[in-house]
Amino acid sequence: MFLRRSVTLAMSLKNYSSEAKNLVAVAVNNQTGVATVTLQRPPVNSLNLELLNELSSALTELEEKKARGIILKSSSDSVFSAGLDIHEFSNTEEGRLKKFWTALQDVWIKLYGHSAPTVACINGHAPAGGCLLALSCEYRVMLKQKTIGLNETKLGIVAPLWFIASMENVIGRRLTELSLTTGKMYTTEEALKIGLIDEIAEDTNDAVSKSENFLKLFQNISPFARSQTKKFIRGNTVQSLVKTREADLKAFIDDITSEKVQKGLKVYMESLKKGK
Ligand SMILES: CC/C=C\C/C=C\C/C=C\CC/C=C/CC(=O)SCCNC(=O)CCNC(=O)[C@H](O)C(C)(C)COP(=O)(O)OP(=O)(O)OC[C@H]1O[C@@H](n2cnc3c(N)ncnc32)[C@H](O)[C@@H]1OP(=O)(O)O
């Protein structure tokens, strides 16, 4: 068993926030060094700039403090994350759109390449950006009777290359192509069948316990050997975004601010409200 440094043990329960509200809570188990990172932005954990900034800070701190594992979950048992907050796409505040996309890039780079083993405890629906967060982890445990997928084409938008790579690295190119072009949302049972998730859980407690069991696999593995191996496997995917961040940002802003996309998003938001 490799012992953790005392500095990590000193980290117990902490909330991260740049605002009065805490949108991400981090609790570290002092015995195991495993951090549970909980998204808590009701009603659907849509990812706005503030939430992304808090998540980004939490991931940096867990990297610095050498967390022994990360479990990413939702405070709700209904939705893991509804993906990017669609209201951000029409936000006219100067510079916010740029900050928003840059924050999403930061979160993905940090989570996808994190030194700690990561598990997505998908205790609710996980469309689009919610699915991206789950795909960025190394293992996925999902509640039964939920849905997951990269449904961007259904909104009339194009998933960037790094979204696609995240999916392709889990389920392969053929299924990724079919899934993304059709904007398919998979049920939990379908997702297990195609390898998009690894385990099904009855409820959140069961999902957390299964997530912890996965992390126990690494108890007797050298953290250095494990994280270096992960880096070798994931490094190229991470670098492909790191090297093209500016172009990716420009493509996002050009695409999302186009009249055609804005019209489509308006119709999509209205259909969400009507679906009630
Ligand atoms: C040429 C191009 C080259 C390169 C490409 C470069 C860039 C590409 C450009 C852009 C890419 C951008 C990528 C985006 C990825 C995303 O994540 S987009 C977000 C997609 N999300 C969804 O489609 C999810 C929609 N929501 C749902 O399906 C359901 O809400 C959900 C199943 C999650 C939960 O259902 P339920 O519990 O019944 O809740 P409600 O539907 O009643 O929702 C409650 C309220 O929340 C609002 N809401 C839901 N989702 C979002 C969201 N994503 N953002 C903001 N708000 C959301 C919903 O409207 C309700 O609000 P109300 O109570 O009516 O006010």
Supply the CATH number for residue 14's domain.
Answer: 3.90.226.10
Range of the domain at 81: 6-274
Half-sphere exposure for 182 (CA within 13 Å, toward CB) = 9
Q: Is residue 34 part of a domain?
A: yes
Catalytic residue among 54, 152, 168, 212: 152
Asked whether 153 and 114 are in contact (CB, 8 A), the reply is: no
Does the active-site annotation cover 129?
yes
| 39-81 pLDDT, tens digit each | 999 999 999 999 999 999 999 999 999 999 999 999 999 999 9
Residue 132 CB less than 6 A away from ligand 1:
no
Q: Is residue 1 part of a domain?
A: no
Q: Which two tokens stand for residue 12?
A: 């117990």
Does the active-site annotation cover 151?
yes
Q: Is residue 173 part of a domain?
A: yes
Q: Is residue 17 part of a domain?
A: yes
Structure ipTM:
0.98
* Per-residue pLDDT in tens (0 to 9) along the chain, 276 residues: 333 433 333 344 454 443 345 999 999 999 999 999 999 999 999 999 999 999 999 999 999 999 999 999 999 999 999 999 999 998 778 799 999 999 999 999 999 999 999 999 999 999 999 999 999 999 999 999 999 999 999 999 999 999 999 999 999 999 999 999 999 999 999 999 999 999 999 999 999 999 999 999 999 999 999 999 999 999 999 999 999 999 999 999 999 999 999 999 999 999 988 776
Give the count of domains, the chain. Answer: 1
DSSP the chain: -PPPPHHHHT--EEEE-SSSS--EEEEE-TTT-EEEEEE--TTT--B-HHHHHHHHHHHHHHHHTT-SEEEEEESSSSBS---B-GGGGG--STTHHHHHHHHHHHHHHHHHT-SS-EEEEE-SBEETHHHHHHHHSSEEEEETT-EEE--GGGGT----HHHHHHHHHHH-HHHHHHHHHHTPPEEHHHHHHTTSSSEEESSHHHHHHHHHHHHHTTTTS-HHHHHHHHHHHHHHHHHHHHTTHHHHHHHHHHHHTSHHHHHHHHHHHHHHHHT-
Q: Which two tokens stand for residue 48?
A: 């706005």
Nearest to 165 by CA among 114, 116, 255, 236: 236
Q: How far apart are CA 234 and CA 115, in angstroms?
A: 11
Ligand 1, atom 47: nearest CA belongs to which residue? 44
Residue 183 CB less than 6 A away from ligand 1:
no
Q: Is residue 220 part of a domain?
A: yes
Q: How far apart are CA 21 and CA 19, in angstroms?
A: 5
Q: How far is the CA of 84 from the centre of ligand 1 (A)?
A: 6
Q: Which two tokens stand for residue 211?
A: 């997530």
Q: How far is the CA of 46 from the centre of ligand 1 (A)?
A: 7
Upstream peptide bond of 43 is cis (omega within 30 degrees of 0): yes
Residue 43 CB less than 6 A away from ligand 1:
yes
Q: Is residue 226 part of a domain?
A: yes
